[in-house]
Structure 1
Amino acid sequence: MPTTTENMVIKLDNGYNIGFDPKKTQIQPIKKREEIKTKAKPPLHQNEDLPLVSILSTGGTIASRVDYRTGAVTSQFTAEDILTAIPELSTIAQYNSQVVYTILSENMRPEYWIKLAQAVHNEIKNGAEGVIITHGTDTMTYTAAADTCYIHRGTKVRKMHTSRRDAFQSINTQPIATINYPERRITTHIDYTKRGEKKLTLNARLEPKVALIKYAPDANPDVIDHYIENDYKGIVIEGTGLGHVGTDWIPRIKDATEKKIPVVITSQCI
């Protein structure tokens, strides 16, 4: 199997993997590997009378498939792949798909947010009535806040659990809507901007050099000097309670503001 380490990884018949140090292991071939034939994809039939939905992929597990015979992970993100895996979708809409980029969500960067926002804007301009973004869950809330295009309000949602399916919760507000999948019913809970109420615009400007600092008791304020010296354009500090930091932080914050670097204090509380 492919591996990022020097160890050898073998796929067992039961689907589990085991790793060995090849320098300490004797290997005896049993039989020649059988040639793996790739099945041809069935032709894709879509109903042009249904609404058009665009699916944008940013990478991660959701856009990949594991071949358990070889252990290889391959990208599976064409419209054919999606409808083959979930054929019921073809009764809801017609689809096109686009891979915007393929990364682990922990490697997300501001320039990727801009590229994704541009892709969403283009799909809507080209007639898509809905846009679905597939994204790794670890940093999904950051992307939602940057692009504000999810069911929860992008700036008011937080991942509250590492792996539960209901890990995401709206903070200090209700979600925009809840979805009943079996009945295909969407129930809205709060006001939101509906299609056509505002002109579609794209603001693709985003300042990447903004620091986020979480304050903790006895934290060293020298960290602020690092961002001043490296020409950061803004600093956000998560303080305790209503937004408090130790008094020894005040002179460093003043140094930053005197150099025209905005410093925003917010609370760690949710």
Structure 2
Amino acid sequence: MKKIIILSTGGTIAMKYDEKIGANVPAVSGKELIAAIPSLKDAGDIEVVEFSNIPSPHMTPKLMLDLRDKIDELLEDETITGLVVTHGTDTLEETAYFLDLTLKTDKPVVLTAAMRSADEIGSDGPVNLLSSVRTAADFNSKAKGVLVVLNQQVHKAKDVTKTHTGNIDTFKSPFWGPIGYVDTDKIIWNNIPIREERYSVKSIEIDDVHLVKMTAGASSLIIDTLVENNVSGIVIEAFGRGNVPPNIMTGIEKAIEKKIPLVISSRCLGGRPLGIYGYAGGGGTIANLGGILAGDLNGQKARIKLIVALNSENYKYENLNKYFDN
């Protein structure tokens, strides 16, 4: 039987309702989590490792790096087939993408979570965990990059995002869809992706990278403040093809003059910024000044990728564009 590690980090999947507080709080260990799912014993030889028990809004890039190091360490054991990380849903896609960009291993690594707490009626944690263990044990999961499994669907870390605040069918890959699904007897693969990128990151020394969302008529106040404070990077979630209100351009110009890395993503669910507009605030105008277009990454993942780039061994400001839209 294949040996699978379950590495618990916390999240709603490990929470219960606290009557005194009147809300869900961390309450369930990884071992308690799997003890409640007897059928897991048929999916693999399970070993539980406790990493943390935190809500995912408490996750940081430095903790993501610690998690990455722990996963690589555990999967050096030749007897281990794959690994499942239990995580909160709020920042799961960011952790998954960070791991996808930086893990050394090609063994299956799957992230899963729950939208309902462990003691809530209809809790989705057990089926998500079982589906994830089965996916991690599947031979075809190897060398696909980090996978995200919820609601019996298998998604690529790069494409998946949380789309609903409360529905259990919240994780979607807009325009791409899941790459597979977990059926009763086996994993059904819709397509067979390969891992696209891998970067060498030994430590996170730089993480003051900020995401700014564009709205109609927005001023340059936020970007001006970030530039004045000499932040390490700025990601702008722009309109459509990478366009911004003209008032924003003064802040963008100041950032680029100071060589603060500035990346443009789109607030649209699908597609990528493209420099086809040359008016004041147009994506082409920003790119010509030195702004970097983020490809089809959403804002939060473009931020994660910029943090990875800034901390990678071979990073140079002049070569930043090679990390994006490549």
Q: Which runs of 5+ in 2 are unaligned?
A: 101-145, 149-154, 270-326
Q: Percent of aligned positions with the same letter in both sequences?
A: 32
Structure 1, residues 218-267: CA drift from partner, whole Å, max 9, x if none? Answer: 21202112211222121111111211111121121011011011211221
The equivalent residue for 1:168 is: 171
Show the counterpart of 1:36. Answer: none
Q: Which residue of 1 aligns with 2:36?
A: 85
Higher relative contact order (CA 8 A, sep 6+): 2
User: Does 2:57 align with 1:59?
Assistant: no
**CA–CA distance in structure 2, aligned partners of residues 266 and 169 of structure 1:** 19
SS of corresponding position for 1:223: helix
Task: Extract structure 1 runs of 4+ deviating beyond 3 A.
Answer: 64-68, 71-76, 200-207
Q: 1:265 to 1:240 in 2, by over 3 A?
A: same
Distance in 1, Cα, partners of 2:263 & 2:244: 12
Q: CA shift at 1:156, angstroms?
A: 1.3
Matched residue SS, 1:156: coil
Tell me, yes or no, if structure 1 residue 261 matches structure 2 residue 260: yes
> SS of the residue aligned with 1:137?
coil
Report the residue type matching 1:186 in the other structure. Answer: I
| Alignment partner, residue 217 of structure 2 | 218
User: Which ranges in structure 1 are unaligned for 5 or more consecutive residues?
Assistant: 1-49
Distance of 1:192 and 1:145 partners within structure 2: 15
- Equivalent residue in structure 1 for 2:99, among 144, 147, 170: 147
Q: Going by fraction, where is helix more abundant, 1 or 2?
A: 2
State whether residues 54 and 132 of structure 1, in contact with CA within 8 Å, keep that contact through their aligned partners in structure 2.
yes
* Residues 12 and 26, structure 2, Cα contact 8 Å, conserved in 1: no
Kept after mapping to 2: 8 A contact 1:144/1:154: yes
Given that residues 12 and 89 in structure 2 are in contact (C-alpha distance below 8 angstroms), is that contact kept between their aligned partners in structure 1?
no
Shift in alpha-carbon separation, 1:259–1:73, aligned structure 2, 3 A: closer
Q: Which amino acid aligns with 1:203?
A: V
Say which SS state the counterpart of residue 91 (structure 2) adopts: helix
1:176 CA displacement = 2.5
Q: One-letter code of the match for 1:53?
A: I
Matches within 5 A, 1:24-103: 50-64=1-15, 75-79=27-31, 81-103=32-54
User: Which residue type is aligned with residue 150 of structure 1?
Assistant: L
Q: RMSD over aligned Cα, in angstroms?
A: 2.8
Q: CA deviation at 1:100?
A: 1.2
Q: TM-score, normalised by structure 2?
A: 0.59
Q: Does 1:137 align with 2:89?
A: yes
Q: Is this contact kept in 1: 2:220–2:250, CA < 8 A?
A: no
Query: What displacement does 1:61 show?
Result: 2.8
Q: TM-score, normalised by structure 1?
A: 0.71
Alignment match, 2:193:
192
Equivalent position of 2:237 in the other structure: 238
Change (3 A) 1:249 1:259: same
SS of equivalent to 2:90: helix
| Offset from partner CA, 1:135-184 (integer Å, 9 cap, x none) | 1112211212221322322121111111222110012313222111xx24
